[in-house]
C-alpha cells in the first residue's frame, strides 16, 4: 500500500517513520509532501492507493472527485475530527474514510485546562511583565477554581478527561451532552445547556462541529453566561461565532477566553500575513483584547499523542488492506 502523506511537518514524518520502524506494518510505504490536500494538490495522489490528511485539509467535493479520478480508495485522517471531509461524495465513489478517534484525550484536555488557567491568571501577561523587569501585580488578579463550577459541553473522550481534571481541582462539574457518559455519573451532574451556561464559572467546549453545534456559542448563549466566566474552546473554531464573541468581550462578559481553535484557521490567515488580511481578520481582532489567549491548534501536540496517531493510522491502513471493518471507519450519519 502506497500512501501519500499531505501537509507533512518534520514531527509528523519523525513519528510515522519511528512507528513504521518500531512495529510491523508489512507492505506499507509512505511518501511525504509539504503541500496540504485541497483541489489544487489532489492530483499529486496519482499512482498512490491512499492519502493521509489532517484537520486543515480541504477535502470537499472537488478534492474527493479528483482523488477518485486518481484511483484513491482510502482516506486516512490522522485526527479525530472529519468535518472537512465530504462523506457523501466519498461514499458515492467507494472511498473509505478512516480516522483516529481517540489518540490521547488527556493531551487536549490538559491543554484546555492550561488555557483556562493561563487566561485566569494572565500568565502570558505576567511572563512578559517580569521579563521587562516589572514585578507589579496590576492586571493579574484571577479567581480560585477550587469550589467553582466547571461546565463541560460534550463529554466524549476529551470532555470526560476534562471532567476528571476539573474534579481534581476541587471544582463542581456539570455537563451538557446529547448522550450521557455513564462513567462520569459519580461526580458529574448532567444539566440543560441553559443551566450549564448560567451556572458555570469555567465553560469548556468538547463537542464536534456539526450542523447542530455550528455557532452554538453566539450572542444569545453568551448573554446567558455568568459575568466573569472563562470560556475555553479546544474543539473546533466554528462552534463559536467569532463576531459575537468579540461583542461579548466588549460587554465585559468574560474574565478570560482561551482558544486553541478559531474560525479562520483554514484560511491560512496567519501564513499570509498581509496587512490587509490581518486588518479584516477576526482572529487578529480577538488578539487585541488583553484577556484573550490563543494557541495555534496545539492541543493534540504531545509526544504520546503523536505516537498514538501514527500507530492507529498505520493500523487503519492494514485493516483496509485486510478488508476488515473497523470502529475507526467514518460513516455518514
Q: Which is nearer to ligand NAD, 6 or 25 (CB)?
A: 6
- Nearest residue to ligand NAD on Cβ basis: 156
CB of 74 or CB of 217, closer to ligand NAD: 217
CB of 232 to ligand NAD, least distance (A): 11
Q: How far apart are CA 283 and CA 286, in angstroms?
A: 5
For ligand NAD, which is the closer residue by CB, 241 or 297? 297
The answer to whether 92 touches 217, Cβ cutoff 8 Å, is: no
Q: 496519482: which residue's cell? A: 46
Which of 78, 122, 206, 297 is catalytic? The answer is 297
C-alpha to C-alpha distances, 15 to 78, 128, 250, 313, 318, nearest whole angstrom? 12, 33, 43, 11, 18
Q: Nearest to residue 303, comparing CAs of 54, 18, 81?
A: 18
Residue 107 CB, shortest distance to ligand NAD, in Å, is 7
CA dist 255 → 155, 237, 258 (Å): 24, 20, 10
Distance of CA 65 to the CA centre of its chain: 26
Contacting positions for ligand NAD (CB under 6 A): 80-81, 102, 105, 108, 153-159, 176-179, 206-209, 212-213, 234-236, 260-261, 297, 299-300
265 is catalytic: yes
Strand partners, 173: 150, 188
For ligand NAD, which is the closer residue by CB, 108 or 230?
108
CB of 112 to ligand NAD, least distance (A): 8
Catalytic residue among 99, 122, 206, 265: 265
Catalytic site residue 110?
A: no
* d(C-alpha 98, C-alpha 77), whole Å: 6
Exactly one of 78, 122, 236, 263 is catalytic; name it.
236
Q: Where are the beta strands (DSSP E) in 130-190?
A: 149-153, 172-176, 188-190
Question: Contact at 8 Å (CB) between 6 and 33?
Answer: yes
Q: Please identify, using beta-carbon distances, which residue of 1 and 310 lies nearer to ligand NAD.
A: 310
Minimum distance from residue 332 beta carbon to ligand NAD (Å): 16
297 is catalytic: yes
Least distance to ligand NAD from the beta carbon of 29, Å? Answer: 27
Q: What amino acid positions are annotated as catalytic residues?
A: 236, 265, 297
Amino acid at each position: 500500500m502506497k500512501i501519500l502523506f499531505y501537509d507533512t511537518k518534520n514531527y509528523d514524518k519523525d513519528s510515522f517513520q519511528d512507528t513504521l520502524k518500531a512495529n510491523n506494518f508489512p507492505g506499507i510505504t509512505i511518501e511525504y509532501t509539504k503541500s496540504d490536500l485541497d483541489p489544487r494538490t489532489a492530483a499529486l495522489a496519482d499512482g498512490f492507493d491512499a492519502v493521509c490528511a489532517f484537520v486543515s485539509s480541504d477535502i470537499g467535493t472537488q478534492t474527493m472527485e479528483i482523488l477518485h479520478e486518481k484511483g484513491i480508495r482510502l482516506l486516512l485522517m490522522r485526527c479525530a475530527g472529519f468535518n472537512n471531509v465530504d462523506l457523501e461524495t466519498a461514499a458515492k465513489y467507494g472511498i473509505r474514510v478512516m480516522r483516529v478517534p481517540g489518540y490521547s484525550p488527556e493531551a487536549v484536555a490538559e491543554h484546555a485546562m492550561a488555557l483556562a488557567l493561563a487566561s485566569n491568571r494572565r500568565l502570558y501577561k505576567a511572563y512578559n511583565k517580569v521579563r521587562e523587569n516589572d514585578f507589579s501585580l496590576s492586571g493579574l488578579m484571577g479567581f480560585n477554581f477550587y469550589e467553582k463550577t466547571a461546565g463541560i459541553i460534550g463529554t466524549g473522550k476529551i470532555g470526560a478527561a476534562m471532567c476528571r481534571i476539573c474534579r481534581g481541582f476541587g471544582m463542581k462539574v456539570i455537563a451538557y451532552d446529547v448522550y450521557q457518559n455513564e462513567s462520569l455519573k459519580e461526580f458529574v451532574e448532567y444539566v440543560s445547556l441553559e443551566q450549564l451556561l448560567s451556572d458555570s464559572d469555567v465553560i469548556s467546549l468538547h463537542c464536534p462541529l456539526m450542523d447542530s453545534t455550528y455557532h452554538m456559542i453566539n450572542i444569545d448563549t453568551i448573554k446567558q453566561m455568568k459575568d466573569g466566566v472563562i470560556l475555553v474552546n479546544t474543539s473546533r473554531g466554528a462552534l463559536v461565532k467569532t463576531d459575537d464573541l468579540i461583542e461579548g468581550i466588549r460587554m465585559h462578559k468574560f474574565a478570560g477566553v482561551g482558544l486553541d481553535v478559531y474560525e479562520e484557521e483554514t484560511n491560512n490567515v496567519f501564513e499570509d500575513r498581509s496587512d490587509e488580511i490581518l486588518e479584516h481578520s477576526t482572529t487578529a481582532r480577538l488578539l487585541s483584547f488583553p484577556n484573550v489567549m490563543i494557541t495555534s491548534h496545539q492541543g493534540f501536540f504531545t509526544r504520546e499523542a503523536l505516537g498514538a496517531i501514527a500507530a492507529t493510522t498505520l493500523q487503519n491502513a492494514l485493516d483496509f488492506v485486510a478488508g476488515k471493518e473497523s470502529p475507526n471507519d467514518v460513516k455518514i450519519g
